[in-house]
Amino acid sequence: MAEDCSHECSSCGVSGCGDRTADQGPSKWATNSRSSIKHVIGVVSGKGGVGKSLVTSLLASELHKKGHRVAILDADVTGPSIPKTFGVTGHLTADADGVNPIKTESGIPVMSINLLLPKADLPVAWRGPVVTNALRQFWSEVNWGEVDYLFVDMPPGTSDVFLTVFQFLPVDGIVTVSAPQELVTMIVGKAVNLAHSMEVPVIGLVENMAYFKCDECGKIHHIFGGSHGAAVAEQYGIPSVATLPLDPSFARLCDEGKVEEYDVKGALDPIIAQIEALPTTTDGNRRE
């Protein structure tokens, strides 16, 4: 059935499918008529619990503050958290062209499965093909408008969604998120090597929870061990590294849905510089 299509054309036996290419290979999803997206950035982590969604939120917020038109596609369908960090709620609207994303307080368009649920804590227990179809609709049937950078907040790991996004969305590069533990070296390597195998550039590495600075004495404590970000980046040829502290005020703002108010104090500048340097064509459209 069409609604169960996983868009894995190379292994599909169905004939007469409009999404099927002549050589039975995968095809890119096209955006709708009211979307013009110059760059797509995936934010990934090889494991959960390292703050991937928070890094997505901060990168989008910082680029938006710099005057860029940004948007967020929450691809973590079974564990979405982007609406909570930005405090976006309400009912989605639609028109003849597609679905209108909900905008954050500062005007960042967001699309997430949680914006479609009657209650935010309802589980989404879907199999891979259904998740894939939801992502296709998020990309193809949402009125994103004019966007310079669309951030795709990925679920942890390197399974179905990772492959789906890399195969069918025009991803310009990924930002990988880690924590300061030696175990993370291997985890980062899995995501980076998969990206390389699919010819997707790695923009940078964000080492989250790298340290805690005491607000009384000013001493820096490496609670989860010393930083490995620079060494990991060198090992895998990642061009830029940024570190973020373990900051209670950051957690509080996320819980309150006010992540846009957080001041990163330039910590993400190396990653942002790489994102802003992504090439575009002379007419302003994204490169192919």
CATH number at residue 121: 3.40.50.300
- The pLDDT tens digits for 148-199 are 999 999 998 877 888 899 989 999 999 999 988 766 677 888 889 989 998 9
Amino acid at 28: K
Q: Answer yes or no: is 38 within a domain.
A: yes
* 6 located within any domain: no
What's the total number of domains in the chain? 1
Containing domain of residue 130, as a range? 34-276
φ, ψ of residue 157 to 5 degrees: the values are 95, -175
Residue-wise pLDDT for 223-267, tens only, equals 888 888 888 899 999 999 999 999 999 989 999 999 999 999 999
Which of helix, strand or coil describes residue 192?
Answer: helix
Looking at the domain assignment, is residue 3 inside a domain? Answer: no
Domain assignment present for 97: yes
Measuring CA to CA, how many Å separate 145 from each of 105, 148, 207? 17, 10, 32
Residue 9 within a domain: no
Tell me the whole-structure pTM to 2 decimals: 0.87
Q: Mean pLDDT across the stretch 271-282?
A: 87
pLDDT confidence tier of residue 23, bands split at 50, 70 and 90: very low
